[in-house]
Structure 1
């Protein structure tokens, strides 16, 4: 046990100088150092606690945990995974209980961070040279030599090493989180999804440091600078403000922070908040604002800067992808309109079919992504008509059987035009062009497919196309009255059209009538 006379006489000395490592409080949990005493003598527990009752290192005291046997120590280790130091006796219920516990901690638990200080009252049973060579311990002391001063010195050295190890471990985890999150953000194609992922992953990176950021953190991502900046993703207090203008949501101090970052074109770090500024190669500006953090250490800022450099490249990719998608959309709608113009059909036909199709897709339960994909692809359903001769395409009278056979080829012509593209929109358009004249009962063309054999995109577009065709005036017919259109669609349930789609259409017909009126051909000037 400890030498009580020496313990009471020695005065515990505290270091005046605090190192940079000691100031990095994020390496361990705030509050107190958790230290375990594992010894079968209760007096050792009492004396150790008394001698170190006013111990403080790096601004934190001690939270004591006691175990009186190696078996009890295992239970303590399971309940307290964040132990910093273990003051461990060698001889307890068995002669080498302490040594066996060391092996358990290092090899079975894989805990290499906790510092183990072996204390023995019987050094002959566990010779220092043998123990230090064969067991992963960090210090070896005979109980008789552990004066209060030496115990203090030993503990400070152990805690300093533990703190350094935790800093290295957290830094490693931070870099791993950046590598992992970077691969994820480069897969994002939507600006909103991308921004939301960036906020989530940034918080994840910083929360490796339990002190660096509080649970009540609030953040948002802003697209565009100036008065028209819009929140595209948010957490915490701002989670309900997505799609709103920043100036309508944020208080004046936050607006000033963000305006300063945009004006200086650089990131800003304040005591309890920071702004990360991004500028893409295309000139687009974005920013991430985060509040609720404790003052960030240099390493935190370094992690943020590394992550931000990857995010900046990903922002460029998003903008380029959006530009490509926008170009694709323009090409698709333009081609659709060219086809309709050539066949002298209604000018808003492709727009209406696109909107009808998206609504039907949503009612059917397709994802928002698929519904939008269908909206973009459906205008190409008749693209194959560019290969049909004018005298057949625009014939005002009834077509002969031979002429109708020619008209039917527009499905395979359209598919042939589009099938080789790897782009999602074009691939979907190819399927729609090929199958939108197939029928639920198998009597359609070109392949006589039945209900579930027809892609859902084509089934939806078919109903949308027929509804709009019947409701619109064409060179060969007048527009049908709405009651006759409804009667026809109902009559074709399970024959020409997917029964479920017909039911959804009839249940929500007012939505389709709204779209028809919104894009009425009479509004074209």
Structure 2
């Protein structure tokens, strides 16, 4: 991409339309720690009207080391601290400097040590032993030198904060790349790259990445966008509509960008639209408090274009994961339909297994894995003859031995795959007929020798089966089904899991009924559905 090609789609919005005055930037916080009131007054007077990068100073005062420490705790974003050495003790200022770095862990605030008694704290000794950034004798500290010291301190603080923000952004990106199958991977990745860009360009840290209906969220209006990720003022606003958090001028800029597939800069904001190969549109929005140089504008363009490619790759991974889930549920439904299980059994047990896992204290990732693997617990039944599987009456001894083969058959089918989900499903298929007291099959495992996933599977599978009609039985009542679970506590079932389910029985029953109702809504003819 040549410089000319890159700059062709950058448009500067008319000031009359989009506003010409920049937003007021947050002030730089300056903490004065000194036990002499005159020092505070003189410092404020000398630095009155001070500005750096369009932001003024916000003065904070403390008259002792203890007050200074409290001010730093309450204001971790203090940029510069003017610190006296001798206050309540001859070395109170030095003690505070050490506390700031070691106890409070604040490595960003710039510390300018001011002393009227240099002999109490020799400069060389202080520089060697303490993490301070400047040393000034009050006798030599003219107005110009104070102005220079504060300016240098704020500039250093700004750069260190940018580096720290950049590090946090990288951590977000790395965290997002660990497991792209997590539901929030795209949002986490987006927030990371936004933080990277705004910190590297020393921009105001409010930015957001917007998407339309391309799999992230549904739009309420055709000319609106959904927030995928945000920083600064837009942090934690994911899934909100842009029009709910932006003013009319900012929305106008975004809509112009989206309608023309161009990038627009005003004096207060930037919006760039990037079309995806899927036909979806993404918009990068920044609030800018200073005019960007041509080079910075080009960097924004390049960065945003690369992020779009990354988003497409991440979205593709999520689509693959979704396809994987659909295949798993389809396999489960094939078995379910053949066994005339009554419909949606695999969906119900998958959701109830997830819920029981959460109430049992399993990590969220394990619960998600259990939900994915659960639909295939009975896959071995595909190899069971219809004469046995669909028999309406009681099974004889030979038929019972045949049906009891389905756990091993399911294991053999699923264990051929090296996929983590399939391996988990294989274990559940093998063990889901084992009993807590060792009376189950096929291996006669007992207690905690049965994997927790398989113990959960046994509980929810039996509950849903009891409550469902089969070719060989009618549906049980809720009262009878729950009584059976309690009766088999410590025999067929893990007693802790039974206690957990019964303690939350209303939640499980409501979840099951919701899925049944969803199934009815799907099957109901359109003419019979309520408007």
Count how many residue pairs are aligned between Structure 1 and Structure 2.
453
With over 3 angstroms needed to count, the CA separation of the structure-2 counterparts of 1:87 and 1:234, relative to structure 1, is closer
**Secondary structure of 1:519's partner?**
helix
Asked if 1:519 is matched to 2:508, the reply is no
Please tell me whether the aligned partners of residues 47 and 147 of structure 2 are also in contact (alpha carbons under 8 angstroms).
Answer: no
1:87-236 equivalences under 5 Å are 92=119, 98=122, 101-105=123-127, 107-111=128-132, 114-115=133-134, 169-170=160-161, 172-173=163-164, 175-187=166-178, 189=180, 190-192=182-184, 194-195=186-187, 198-199=190-191, 202=194, 206=198, 212-213=204-205, 221-224=210-213, 227=221, 229-232=225-228
Please tell me whether the aligned partners of residues 110 and 154 of structure 2 are also in contact (alpha carbons under 8 angstroms).
Answer: no
Partners of 2:244 and 2:44 in 1: how far apart? 59
Q: How far apart are residue 438 of structure 1 and its match?
A: 1.4
**Secondary structure of 1:186's partner?**
helix
Partner deviation per Cα, 1:412-467 (whole Å, 9 max, x = no partner): 22223323545443333223212211122221112223343333332333233223
Please tell me whether the aligned partners of residues 208 and 230 of structure 2 are also in contact (alpha carbons under 8 angstroms).
Answer: yes
Please tell me whether the aligned partners of residues 208 and 284 of structure 2 are also in contact (alpha carbons under 8 angstroms).
Answer: yes
Partners of 1:50 and 1:261 in 2: how far apart? 45
With over 3 angstroms needed to count, the CA separation of the structure-2 counterparts of 1:427 and 1:302, relative to structure 1, is farther
Partners of 2:145 and 2:509 in 1: how far apart? 80
With over 3 angstroms needed to count, the CA separation of the structure-2 counterparts of 1:493 and 1:376, relative to structure 1, is same
Q: How far apart are residue 333 of structure 1 and its match?
A: 1.6
- Pairwise CA RMSD: 5.1
Partners of 2:340 and 2:273 in 1: how far apart? 51
Q: How far apart are residue 237 of structure 1 and its match?
A: 7.6
Please tell me whether the aligned partners of residues 196 and 234 of structure 1 are also in contact (alpha carbons under 8 angstroms).
Answer: no
Partners of 1:237 and 1:49 in 2: how far apart? 32
- The corresponding residue for 1:357 is 353
Partners of 2:146 and 2:351 in 1: how far apart? 71
- The corresponding residue for 1:30 is 28
List gaps (5 residues or longer) in structure 1: 1-24, 121-142
Please tell me whether the aligned partners of residues 354 and 378 of structure 1 are also in contact (alpha carbons under 8 angstroms).
Answer: yes
Please tell me whether the aligned partners of residues 356 and 501 of structure 2 are also in contact (alpha carbons under 8 angstroms).
Answer: no
With over 3 angstroms needed to count, the CA separation of the structure-2 counterparts of 1:54 and 1:448, relative to structure 1, is closer
Q: How far apart are residue 382 of structure 1 and its match?
A: 0.9
- The corresponding residue for 1:135 is none
Asked if 1:340 is matched to 2:367, the reply is no
Please tell me whether the aligned partners of residues 466 and 481 of structure 2 are also in contact (alpha carbons under 8 angstroms).
Answer: yes
Please tell me whether the aligned partners of residues 360 and 504 of structure 1 are also in contact (alpha carbons under 8 angstroms).
Answer: no
List gaps (5 residues or longer) in structure 2: 1-23, 60-81, 101-107, 526-531
Q: TM-score, normalization: structure 1? A: 0.66
Partners of 1:429 and 1:341 in 2: how far apart? 19
Partner deviation per Cα, 1:53-110 (whole Å, 9 max, x = no partner): 88968687998765579946635755898557667899635xxx63xx23432x3334
Asked if 1:479 is matched to 2:474, the reply is yes
Partners of 1:74 and 1:83 in 2: how far apart? 14
Asked if 1:437 is matched to 2:433, the reply is yes
Partners of 1:50 and 1:359 in 2: how far apart? 60
Partners of 2:43 and 2:340 in 1: how far apart? 94
Please tell me whether the aligned partners of residues 206 and 300 of structure 1 are also in contact (alpha carbons under 8 angstroms).
Answer: no
**Secondary structure of 1:460's partner?**
helix
Partners of 2:167 and 2:393 in 1: how far apart? 70
1:219-298 equivalences under 5 Å are 221-224=210-213, 227=221, 229-232=225-228, 242-243=238-239, 246=242, 252-265=248-261, 268-275=264-271, 280=276, 282-287=278-283, 289=285, 294-295=289-290
Q: How far apart are residue 496 of structure 1 and its match?
A: 1.9
Q: TM-score, normalization: structure 2? A: 0.65
With over 3 angstroms needed to count, the CA separation of the structure-2 counterparts of 1:260 and 1:400, relative to structure 1, is same
- The corresponding residue for 1:503 is 502
Partner deviation per Cα, 1:88-142 (whole Å, 9 max, x = no partner): 899635xxx63xx23432x33344xx3557899xxxxxxxxxxxxxxxxxxxxxx
- The structure whose Rg is larger is 1
